[in-house]
Amino acid sequence: MYGSEGEWTYVLENDHAATWATGFRRVPSMRPGPGEEILCASRNLYSPPAAILHVEGDEVIRRAEFGTTTGHESALDAALTAAGAVYPSVPDATADEVTAYYEQHGARLPTLVFTALGAYTGLSIDQDAAQAGNLPAVHLLTP
């Protein structure tokens, strides 16, 4: 399913793997162009870990696993931190503290990440409409 809001166009896929994230390396036409911002989040349920790929318009693809930042100190990283989507990590905390934090808060992580992405992009996708299949859709057939 897809839609647009403001300057953003979004695509929602339900097979748990983001097509752009898996295809841009092999398909030259999928590579980001100058001035093009791309934000791709995938839970990667079939091939963990869940990750965010972000291109800020400079054609550089930055990656963050859910629970971390891209390390680029960008506005996206700030949004992830503000939403509580950045978890403590070793060496900032002990391995036991990291494990305990993840066990307590891990189930909320996808929600926190998508909240941060919404804050960063200004997108507000109606979750009920998406789950009910009430957004425009395109079915791509594979040869």
Asked whether the beta carbons of 76 and 70 are under 8 A apart, the reply is: yes
Euclidean distance between the first and final Cα of the chain, in Å? 21
- Is residue 36 within a helix (H) or strand (E), and if so which, with residue range? none
Percent with pLDDT over 90 in the chain: 44
Residue linked to tokens 């791509």: 140
Please report, to the nearest 10 degrees, the dihedral formed by the alpha carbons of residues 97, 103, 107, 108 taken in order. -30
Could you report the per-residue pLDDT of 90-115, keeping only the tens digit for each? 778 888 988 898 899 889 999 999 99
Is the pLDDT at 11 greater than 90? The verdict is: no
**Residue 125 has what pLDDT?**
84
Please report, to the nearest 10 degrees, the dihedral formed by the alpha carbons of residues 11, 141, 14, 16 taken in order. -100
Residue linked to tokens 């057939």: 141
Could you report the per-residue pLDDT of 14-69, keeping only the tens digit for each? 776 678 888 888 998 889 989 999 999 988 888 888 999 999 999 999 999 999 99
Residue 67's SS3 state is strand
What confidence tier does 143 reach under pLDDT thresholds 50, 70, 90?
A: low
φ and ψ of 52, to 5 deg: -120, 135
What confidence tier does 122 reach under pLDDT thresholds 50, 70, 90?
A: very high
Could you report the per-residue pLDDT of 126-139, keeping only the tens digit for each? 878 877 888 887 77
**Residue 67 has what pLDDT?**
93
